[in-house]
């Protein structure tokens, strides 16, 4: 189950612009949001997610087809 949560967190970071921006601004709070939704990471997984290189994360997200991205419309208006 835990690997599934890791995959959900990474998927959300890659495809949900609003969540990704919140994560980049305050990673602990963003992961806390997910925890409140039942998506929990163990301490090792949490440390690994927090260590993801920001530039790499944003580059990966930018490379994903916009048709499967959830855009932050507030940011683009």
Q: Is residue 41 part of a domain?
A: yes
Mean pLDDT of 7-16: 96
pTM comes to 0.86
Note every long-range contact of 60-67, with CB atoms under 8 Å and residues 24 or more positions apart, other chains counting: 60/14, 61/13, 61/14, 61/15, 61/17, 61/20, 64/14, 64/15
Mean pLDDT of the 38-64 span: 96
Write the CB contacts of 57 (distance below 8 Å, at least 6 apart in sequence): 13, 14, 20, 24
pLDDT digits (tens, 9 = 90+) for 17-37: 999 999 999 999 999 999 999
Q: What is the mean pLDDT of residues 59-69?
A: 92
Number of domains in the chain: 1
Q: Domain for residue 76, yes or no?
A: no
Is 51 inside a domain boundary? yes
Q: Domain span at residue 18?
A: 2-66
């Amino acid at each position: 189950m835990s690997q599934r949560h890791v995959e959900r967190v990474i998927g959300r970071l890659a495809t949900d612009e609003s969540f990704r921006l919140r994560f980049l601004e305050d990673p602990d709070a963003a992961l806390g949001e997910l925890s409140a939704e039942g998506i929990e990471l163990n301490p090792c997984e949490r440390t690994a997610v927090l260590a993801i290189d920001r530039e790499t994360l944003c580059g990966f997200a930018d490379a994903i087809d916009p048709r499967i991205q959830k855009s932050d419309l507030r940011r683009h208006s």
